[in-house]
């Protein structure tokens, strides 16, 4: 599967790049860091834009699925993507994100289609099934079997079935109302309980992938005495609409089925036969009454539609199925989110009118009017809001600013949705005016002394301070920041001494020996933030101590 994913990655193509949008297509389950698209090339951006965090990818969800490679301008996967987990019931799985270019204050929309690969085998809800049949059942009778489920999409989830085990039975496929295909067990020959009390069959489901994947379920057919009426539901499909804030424990719908038989054969039990793992944690069916209740809170933003299949089975194991469709309606339960995507903290007072000072992103997880957000800016300030791209706004100046008049602004941006009552949030932008004078690196560092001298006893321990060199720079800011280092010297000298790059303090690293070397000349350089360099020399004299006994 991994080899296939890599091959698909090589065949990626950009669909279109129009109106600031990019569209890519990648297979699911690709490893973290896999190539998605060349954003730099497709948008015609310079590589310098992507260095020093000049561009970044912003996603609306809680999980970051993509990231931007700063050195290449490539969009890559930030983690392994499982299409079935993201788009459980969607035919087309598309992830959306935005590329924010800091320097240009621009936003580009990116859509990535996650293509399905055949990474899931068909599976049955129950791998051990039991069908109970009356010995009076006529040949040609059909019995609904549980469908297999394959979370893949397209041909990878198209299922075919095979039955093996005994010549008394065959398999038929029935087309369902939704276009699905349901397997049915067909009785070919008459049963005789006294001759054979049970039969063991194997139902195999195969998907349409290449290569195909399969899943099996074992079916035990138990032969019973006569039961000639199957349960009949009052409706073939039950439809219900519920708001997402309906309380847990509420009854949503009750299904009913009747059976014309009496006694055990007329006793109907209900069960859910086709339900997703997600829905099984939200809904519960009472096997006696057919009442469907809510066991976990609904969330319109996580699931808008659920489809369940309920089975009614009588005491003689005759059964029938019906569909339950539950539609979740939205309520205004999400406050708009106002995010400062990019903002200036300082602006020159001579900045022209229309200068962009902040880029804001608003989103509301609700839908319809509940998710429509309006933004506003406090009055009587020389700034205004402009719509930038989809849910992005720019804060721009409306005139030239005067630092002597107002030196600092606190701008309050308010976002309110269209719900009733409306929900809102706000954020404050702090902006300070400055006079922008740029320093030029026109002064090199200057040492306090061109030549330094120091004396050190040969028994001085490692770590002892030799002396402190110091240099100054007449420039300002980073151009005036000085770091110190040794010049080109022998390895023996470099092993003996250590120079702190920030303070200029020279310390001893190894013990000295007057009898070996009586003095050292150290070459020291000072470099400012603009790259200008100054040099000086440090003469270190080693003083003798009486550390050797006379030799006869």
Tell me 78's DSSP state: S
User: Could you tell me the two tokens for 10?
Assistant: 């090589």
Q: Are 362 and 336 in contact (CB under 8 A)?
A: yes
- The CATH number covering residue 242 comes to 2.60.40.60
Compute the half-sphere exposure of residue 189: CA atoms within 13 Å on the CB side of its CA.
Answer: 9
Q: Are 222 and 253 in contact (CB under 8 A)?
A: no
Q: Please report whether residue 358 resides in a domain.
A: yes
Q: Are 317 and 347 in the same domain? A: no
Residue 405 lies in domain? 337-438
Q: How many CB atoms within 10 Å of residue 2?
A: 9
Q: Are 539 and 493 in the same domain? A: yes
> What whole-number distance in Å separates Cα of residue 255 and Cα of residue 291?
6
> What whole-number distance in Å separates Cα of residue 215 and Cα of residue 299?
33
> What whole-number distance in Å separates Cα of residue 551 and Cα of residue 330?
100
Q: Are 128 and 214 in the same domain? A: yes
Q: Are 236 and 247 in contact (CB under 8 A)?
A: no
Name every residue whose Cβ is closer than 8 Å to that of residue 85 and which is 6 or more positions away in sequence.
none
Say whether pTM exceeds 0.85: no
Last residue of one domain, picked from the residues 177, 200, 224: 224
CA distances from 185 to 122, 133, 252 (A): 19, 11, 32
Residues in the chain: 552
Q: Are 316 and 251 in the same domain? A: yes
Full DSSP string of 134-166: ETTPPTT-EEE-PPEE--S-GGGG--EEEEES-
Q: Please report whether residue 331 resides in a domain.
A: no
**Closest Cα partner for 161 from 108, 124, 190?**
124
Burial of 476: CB neighbours in 10 Å, binned 0-12, 13-18, 19+: middle
Q: Are 298 and 343 in the same domain? A: no
Q: Please report whether residue 549 resides in a domain.
A: no
pLDDT digit of tens for each residue in the chain (552 aa)?
333 322 223 333 333 333 347 899 999 888 988 898 988 888 887 776 666 566 777 777 678 888 888 788 888 888 888 887 888 777 788 888 888 887 777 888 888 888 888 788 888 888 898 988 888 888 999 988 888 887 877 777 778 888 998 899 999 988 877 667 789 899 999 888 778 889 999 999 888 888 888 889 999 999 876 777 889 999 999 999 999 889 999 999 999 999 887 788 889 999 998 888 889 999 999 999 999 999 999 988 788 899 999 999 998 888 999 999 999 988 877 788 888 888 888 887 778 888 888 888 888 877 777 778 888 887 778 888 888 887 888 889 888 877 667 878 888 888 887 777 777 777 766 655 454 434 457 788 999 999 999 999 999 999 999 999 999 988 777 888 999 999 999 888 899 999 999 999 999 999 999 989 999 999 999 999 889 999 999 999 999 988 888 888
Q: What is the number of domains present in the chain? A: 5
> What whole-number distance in Å separates Cα of residue 535 and Cα of residue 479?
17
């Amino acid at each position: 599967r991994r080899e296939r994913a890599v091959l698909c990655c090589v065949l990626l193509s950009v669909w279109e790049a129009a109106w600031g949008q990019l569209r890519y297509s990648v297979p699911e389950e690709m490893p973290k860091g896999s190539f998605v698209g060349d954003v730099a090339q497709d948008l015609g951006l310079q590589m310098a834009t992507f260095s020093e965090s000049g561009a970044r990818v912003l996603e609306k969800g809680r999980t970051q699925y993509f990231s931007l490679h700063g050195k290449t301008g490539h969009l890559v996967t930030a983690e392994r993507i499982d299409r079935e987990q993201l788009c459980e019931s969607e035919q087309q799985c598309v992830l959306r994100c935005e590329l924010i270019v800091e320097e240009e204050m621009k936003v580009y929309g990116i859509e990535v289609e996650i293509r399905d690969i055949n990474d899931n085998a068909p599976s049955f809800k129950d791998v051990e099934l039991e069908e109970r049949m009356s010995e009076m059942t006529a040949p040609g009778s059909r019995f609904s079997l549980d469908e297999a489920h394959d979370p893949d999409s397209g041909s990878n989830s198209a299922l075919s079935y095979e039955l093996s085990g005994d010549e008394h039975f065959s398999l038929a496929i029935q087309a369902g109302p939704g276009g699905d295909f349901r397997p049915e067990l067909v009785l070919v020959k008459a049963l005789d309980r006294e001759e054979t009390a049970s039969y063991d069959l194997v139902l195999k489901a195969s998907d349409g992938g290449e290569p195909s994947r399969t899943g099996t379920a074992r079916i035990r057919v138990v032969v019973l005495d006569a039961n000639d009426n199957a349960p009949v539901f009052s409706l073939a499909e039950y439809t219900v609409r519920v708001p997402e804030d309906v309380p847990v424990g509420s009854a949503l719908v009750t299904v009913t089925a009747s059976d014309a038989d009496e006694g055990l054969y007329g006793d109907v039990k209900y069960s859910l036969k086709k339900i997703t793992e997600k829905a099984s944690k939200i809904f519960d069916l009472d096997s006696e009454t057919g009442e469907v209740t809510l066991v976990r809170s609904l969330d319109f933003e996580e699931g808008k539609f659920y489809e369940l299949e309920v089975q009614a089975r009588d005491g003689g194991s005759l059964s029938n199925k019906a569909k339950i469709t539950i539609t979740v309606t939205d309520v205004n339960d999400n406050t708009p989110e106002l995010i400062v995507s990019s903002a200036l903290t300082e602006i020159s007072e001579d900045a022209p009118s229309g200068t962009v000072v902040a880029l804001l992103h608003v989103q509301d997880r609700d839908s319809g009017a509940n998710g429509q957000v309006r933004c506003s800016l406090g009055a009587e300030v020389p700034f205004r809001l402009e719509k930038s791209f989809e849910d992005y706004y720019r804060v721009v100046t409306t005139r030239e600013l005067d630092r002597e008049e107002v030196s600092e602004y606190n701008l309050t941006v308010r976002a309110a949705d269209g719900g009733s009552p409306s929900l809102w949030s706000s954020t404050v932008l702090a902006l300070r005016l400055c006079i922008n004078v740029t320093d030029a690196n026109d002064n090199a560092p200057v040492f306090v002394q061109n030549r330094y001298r120091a004396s050190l006893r040969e028994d001085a321990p490692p770590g002892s301070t030799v002396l402190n060199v110091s240099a100054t720079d007449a420039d300002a800011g980073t151009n005036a920041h000085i770091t110190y280092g040794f010049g080109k010297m022998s390895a023996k000298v470099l092993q003996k001494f250590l120079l702190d790059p920030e303070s200029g303090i020279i310390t001893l690293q190894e013990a000295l020996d007057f009898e070996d070397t009586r003095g050292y000349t150290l070459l020291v350089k000072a470099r400012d933030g603009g790259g200008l360099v100054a040099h000086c020399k440090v003469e270190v004299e080693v003083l003798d101590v009486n550390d050797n006994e006379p030799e006869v």
